[in-house]
Amino acid sequence: MDKPATIKDIARTLNLSTSTVSRAMRNAPDVNIETKKAVMALSEELNYQPNKLALSLKQKQTHNIGVIVPNLDYVLATMVRGIDEVALEAGYTVMVCQSNESFGREIVNTRRLLDSLVDGFIVSVSSETKVFDHFKKIQEKKMPMVVFDRVTPFLKAPGVRLDNTDGGFQATEHLIEQGYKRIAILAGPKNLGISNHRLDGYLAALKKYKIKPDPDLIIHCDFNQQYAYLATQELLNMKKRPDAIFTISDRMAIGAMLAIKEKGLKMPHDIGLVGFNNEPVVSLLTPGISSVDQPAFELGKVAAKLFIETMHHDGDMSEVEEVLKPKLHIRESSLRIIPKNTRSK
Amino acid sequence: MDKPATIKDIARTLNLSTSTVSRAMRNAPDVNIETKKAVMALSEELNYQPNKLALSLKQKQTHNIGVIVPNLDYVLATMVRGIDEVALEAGYTVMVCQSNESFGREIVNTRRLLDSLVDGFIVSVSSETKVFDHFKKIQEKKMPMVVFDRVTPFLKAPGVRLDNTDGGFQATEHLIEQGYKRIAILAGPKNLGISNHRLDGYLAALKKYKIKPDPDLIIHCDFNQQYAYLATQELLNMKKRPDAIFTISDRMAIGAMLAIKEKGLKMPHDIGLVGFNNEPVVSLLTPGISSVDQPAFELGKVAAKLFIETMHHDGDMSEVEEVLKPKLHIRESSLRIIPKNTRSK
DNA sequence: TTAATTCCCGGGATCGTTCCCGGCATCGCT
DNA sequence: AGCGATGCCGGGAACGATCCCGGGAATTAA
């Protein structure tokens, strides 16, 4: 009564072989209806739970998915929820590991999960990561792996991502339409794809409106609030300071906002601000910060679907890339109701 | 070259038995230093990774910890990071499952992990959960389980929690010291321990200052922003409206803030506000909202330590309960610099 | 009556690893 | 020379399940 019941216990007390019990469990056709009932009844009584380990060992699959994320902020936590949603539905359990944006931690985590614990990976790479050997090792083992959110050209794998270029474009075009002339961008680290794509969108919007990009207004800084704060201070101290800032994350937008308030400038009048991610926070601030919304939950679901597809599909899927569309949410920080007085300059 | 290398492959090519190779791997004393070297060299070359499944099957432990959380908001994500920190150090991998505050989902998750995937659990129960049979099933299997953050008297298990009573006391006393006279509390669901304890602290503070609690000022509402918003509207429409509100979470504080602003009241002058959790958000709002900080990361670490202790300690530890201290962070929402004019009423 | 078919079931190998047990040298000691 | 001690290694069972193969009994067909 101490140890959990096994298939053998059932076989013994019923005077059957383990094979028969096993078949009865899986409702195989070639077993007598009576014995089937007996097995079911006894397994119910003994509260029998099949040992997943033994099963996994035998058929060489664990039905676990390793999910590697750089952190668990609002956006990623939402995506993970999306992954969880469809994974559970498909009979998979997810193992979430956060790398804390640390390269070393990312390696440790993948190795741990790689030790025959998972059937494959769904990853979003850390911003620190510049070399991808640990992920390539996954692929060498022929394990399915899909990347999401933060995809990179250095890693050939099926993936799902936001149309970050479009997001950058929407934000920038909106600022232009609101009459802002000198629009700065706080971009992230140069090796991060999402950062570069949003920057591309920014440049594309400028080009469309025939605005010459000013290198002084393009800042690459680390992906957090403090750096954004410092970078914004510098921007505002320029002799020809920008009259609008587009930050590629809401965290950075908040850092920028703090610097702007400190300087005594008013949004949206003196300066416009648009962020990215549309975290719930930004609607609560005064003024509310405009932000590019991404369908995080949906993106997570697509990632998991893609993973399951990859599992069942033997061919090469590394070219597959789903792209979801962002949508700008406009708030007070960038809304000069009607572009009036813009020519008073 | 296709399949991953096993201990047998090494044994075969080296003309050894699997037993010897196994011993060599684990650096057992009774194996020749030469053979040991040879084994090591070959296993390096073949990129041998021991099969965790086989190992787990043999020794009946997986070195996985199942972590069940109601969601992954700021506080819980931080706690999970803390758990991860010490778990990894101790050679454990954590499997995080979110129940989305849903009772049913919680059951599904525990059952999944229970299928011989984890050695034990670290759980924070969903706010919806009123019956704990699924958790008791864990204990019947003699699996270690520790609870954290949301502990409940209905579940006898070692745990770590915040001194919520003290937190409620600190918040309320602070409001009293600031000269507020009619202090309302937005508490959570009645079956939630953390909610009741914070309420106890509130009552204790009132008692200390000989203020008679007013039942009309004690509101139980659901644990989210929207409900807090509605409840606050009602509070503010009372004929003798409160002049301060203590909410037991920051989400609720934000809901309250929205209602307050809508009503045209000014903080801290017309009304004081204190939240709970000290999420980064609250310092960014205008005015900044005072909030009771909890050492979430530390709490997660303690939970994991407790778990590991429980693993290695055979005796009953269900009486163990660690309690961490919160600390109020005061901001503009409740700070009437010097209690002047308070008697002008 | 005999052969063929169907229905149920058991035997044993297998997955990758550990671990108990026992065997065969070699060495040292009396 | 004979004995035990020691060092090093192999054999095989075990963990809990699946699955191929084969076999006996009963039923049916020839």
Query: What domain range includes position A44?
Result: 7-50
pLDDT in tens, B107-145: 999 988 888 789 999 999 887 888 899 999 888 888 999
The angle subtended at Cα B329 by Cα B326 and Cα B331, nearest 5°, is 160
| Burial of B15 (C-beta count, 10 Å sphere; 0-12/13-18/19+) | exposed
The rounded distance, in Å, linking the Cα atoms of A80 and A163 is 19
Q: Which nucleotide is nearest to A28 (CA to C1')?
A: C8
B91 shares a domain with B125: yes
Q: What is the dihedral of CA B130, B133, B135, B139, to 10 degrees?
A: 140
Sign of CA dihedral A106, A109, A112, A115: negative
A170 shares a domain with A317: no
The reply to whether A87 falls in a domain is yes
B16 shares a domain with B76: no
CB atoms near residue B270 (< 10 Å): 14
Taking CB atoms and an 8 Å limit, are A97 and B112 in contact across chains?
no
Kindly report whether the peptide bond that precedes residue A287 is cis, defined as omega within 30 degrees of 0.
yes
- Using the structure, give the distance in angstroms from the CA atom of B57 to the C1' atom of C17, rounded to a whole number: 9
What is the percent of chain B with per-residue pLDDT over 70, rounded to a whole number?
97
Q: What's the one-letter identity of residue A236?
A: L
* Chain B CB within 8 Å of residue A285 CB: yes
Sign of CA dihedral B97, A80, A103, B45: positive
pLDDT in tens, B152-191: 888 899 999 999 999 999 999 999 999 999 999 999 988 8
Q: What's the one-letter identity of residue B239?
A: K
More confident site: B342 or A82? A82
A80 shares a domain with A23: no
* Chain A CB within 8 Å of residue B260 CB: no
B168 shares a domain with B268: yes
A-chain CB neighbours of B64 within 8 Å are 117
CATH at B36 = 1.10.260.40
* Chain A CB within 8 Å of residue B224 CB: no
A199 pairs with which residues across the strands?
A: none
B336 shares a domain with B215: yes
pLDDT for A338 equals 57
For chains A and B, count residue pairs whose Cβ atoms are closer than 8 Å: 101
The reply to whether B89 falls in a domain is yes
pLDDT for B321 equals 94
The reply to whether A2 falls in a domain is no
Helix, strand, coil distribution of chain B in percent, nearest 5: 45, 15, 40
pLDDT for B343 equals 44
pLDDT for A169 equals 98
Residue B342 has pLDDT above 70, yes or no: no
The count of domains in chain A is 3
A68 shares a domain with A145: yes
pLDDT for A344 equals 40
Taking CB atoms and an 8 Å limit, are A53 and B81 in contact across chains?
no
Which two three-digit tokens encode residue A306? 């893609």
A97 shares a domain with A43: no
Q: What burial letters (b/e) apply to A191-204, b meaning 16+ CB within 10 Å?
A: ebbbbbbbbebbbe
pLDDT for B3 equals 76
- Using the structure, give the distance in angstroms from the CA atom of B112 to the C1' atom of C19, rounded to a whole number: 31
Nearest alpha-carbon partner for B238 in B266, B259, B211: B259
B291 shares a domain with B183: yes
Q: How far is B140 from chain A (nearest CA, A)?
A: 9
Which two three-digit tokens encode residue A65? 């998915």
Of B72, B93, B285, the CB nearest to A72: B72
A168 shares a domain with A151: no
Mean pLDDT of all residues in chain A?
A: 91
The reply to whether B92 falls in a domain is yes
A122 pairs with which residues across the strands?
A: A67, A146
Given strand B145-148, what is the order of strands in its sheet? B93-98, B64-69, B120-123, B145-148, B159-162, B321-324
The reply to whether B230 falls in a domain is yes
pLDDT for B344 equals 41
Taking CB atoms and an 8 Å limit, are A98 and B117 in contact across chains?
no
The rounded distance, in Å, linking the Cα atoms of A284 and A269 is 19
Q: Which of B52, B55, B81, B254 to mutate to test the interface with A (most CBs of A within 10 A)?
A: B52
Q: What burial letters (b/e) apply to B60-76, b meaning 16+ CB within 10 Å?
A: eebbbbbbbbbbbbbbb
Which two three-digit tokens encode residue A154? 């250095």
Nearest alpha-carbon partner for B213 in B249, B242, B235, B179: B242
- Using the structure, give the distance in angstroms from the CA atom of B30 to the C1' atom of C22, rounded to a whole number: 15
Residues 6+ apart with CB under 8 A from A192: A127, A150, A223
With beta carbons less than 8 A apart as the criterion, state whether B47 and B9 touch.
no
pLDDT in tens, A200-259: 999 999 999 999 999 999 999 887 889 999 999 999 999 999 999 999 999 999 999 999
The rounded distance, in Å, linking the Cα atoms of A145 and A148 is 10
Residue B324 has pLDDT above 70, yes or no: yes
Taking CB atoms and an 8 Å limit, are A112 and B93 in contact across chains?
yes
Q: Which residue of A has its CA nearest to B1?
A: A141
pLDDT in tens, A257-288: 999 999 999 999 999 999 999 999 899 888 99
Which two three-digit tokens encode residue A319? 């070219």
With beta carbons less than 8 A apart as the criterion, state whether B247 and B274 touch.
yes
A102 shares a domain with A45: no
pLDDT for A117 equals 86
The reply to whether A344 falls in a domain is no
Of A49, A64, A77, the CB nearest to B72: A77
Q: Which residue of A has its CA nearest to B76?
A: A72
pLDDT for A114 equals 87
Q: What burial letters (b/e) apply to B286-324, b meaning 16+ CB within 10 Å?
A: ebbbbbbbbbbbebbbbbbbbbbebbeeeeebeeeeeee
For residue B244, the Cα-to-chain-centroid distance in whole angstroms is 28
Helix (H, G, I), strand (E, B) or coil at B220: strand
Residue B100 has pLDDT above 90, yes or no: no
Q: Which residue of A has its CA nearest to B280?
A: A281
pLDDT in tens, B26-55: 988 888 999 999 999 999 999 999 999 999
Q: Is the CB of B35 under 7 A from strand D?
A: yes
pLDDT for A342 equals 47
Number of C-alpha atoms within 13 angstroms, CB side, residue B4?
19
pLDDT for B337 equals 62
With beta carbons less than 8 A apart as the criterion, state whether A85 and A114 touch.
no
Q: Which nucleotide is nearest to A116 (CA to C1')?
A: C16
Nearest alpha-carbon partner for B296 in B66, B87, B65, B85: B85
The reply to whether A339 falls in a domain is no
Residue A343 has pLDDT above 70, yes or no: no
With beta carbons less than 8 A apart as the criterion, state whether A132 and A154 touch.
yes
CATH at B227 = 3.40.50.2300
A300 shares a domain with A228: no
* Chain A CB within 8 Å of residue B108 CB: yes
pLDDT for A189 equals 87
The reply to whether A56 falls in a domain is no
pLDDT in tens, A95-153: 999 988 889 999 999 988 888 789 999 999 887 888 899 999 888 888 999 999 988 88
Mean pLDDT of all residues in chain B?
A: 91
Q: Which helix (H) or strand (E) holds A293?
A: strand A290-293
B-chain CB neighbours of A97 within 8 Å are 84, 93-94
